[in-house]
Amino acid sequence: MADGPHKLYGSRFAKATSASVEGFNASLPIDRRLYEEDIAASIAHARMLGRRGIIPPDDARAIVNGLAQVHRELVAGGGPPADASWEDIHTLVEVRLRELVGSAGGRLHTARSRNDQVATDLRLWSRRALCDGIAAVLGLQAALLQRAEDDRGLILPGYTHLQRAQPVLLAHHWLAYVEMLSRDIGRLDDCYARVDVLPLGSGALAGAPYPLDRDFVAELLGFTRVSANSLDAVSDRDFVVEHLAALALIAVHLSRLAEELVVWSSAEFGFVEMDDAYATGSSIMPQKKNSDVAELVRGKSGRPVGALVALLVTLKGLPLAYNKDLQEDKEGYFRSADDSRDCLQLTAEMLATLRVRPERLRAAVSDPLLLATDLADHLTRLGVPFRQAHDTVGALVRDYQGRFADLSSEQLAVYSPRLAEGMPSLSPRASVRSRDVPGGTAPRQVAVALRRARRRHTADAVRLDARRRTLPSVQALAALPW
Residues recognised as catalytic: 161, 282
d(CA 112, CA 205): 10
Handedness of CA 275, 281, 285, 291 (dihedral sign): negative
HSE (CB half, 13 Å, CA atoms) of 209? 0
Is the peptide bond between 321 and the residue preceding it cis, with omega within 30 degrees of 0? yes
Which of 133, 88, 142 is closest to 114 using CA atoms? 88
- What residue type is 272 in one-letter code? V
Which of 42, 39, 56, 51 is closest to 103 using CA atoms? 56
DSSP 8-state class, residue 243: H
Which of 32, 42, 91 is closest to 67 using CA atoms? 42
Q: Specify the 3-state DSSP secondary structure of 465.
A: helix
HSE (CB half, 13 Å, CA atoms) of 109? 16
The strand ranges marked E within 153-212 are 155-160, 163-169, 197-198
d(CA 2, CA 251): 42
DSSP 8-state class, residue 77: T
Cβ(25)–Cβ(87) below 8 Å: yes
d(CA 477, CA 153): 53
The DSSP result for 115-166, as a single string, is HHHHHHHHHHHHHHHHHHHHHHHHHHHHHHHHHHHHTTT-EEEEEETTEEEE
Q: Strand pairing partners for 96?
A: none
Q: Specify the 3-state DSSP secondary structure of 323.
A: coil
How many helices (H) and strands (E) would you count in the chain?
Answer: 21, 6
Main-chain dihedrals φ then ψ at residue 116, nearest 5 degrees: -80, -20
* Residue 473: Cβ within 10 Å count: 11
Which of 33, 21, 12 is closest to 88 using CA atoms? 33
Element (H, E) at 444: helix 443-468
d(CA 136, CA 253): 14
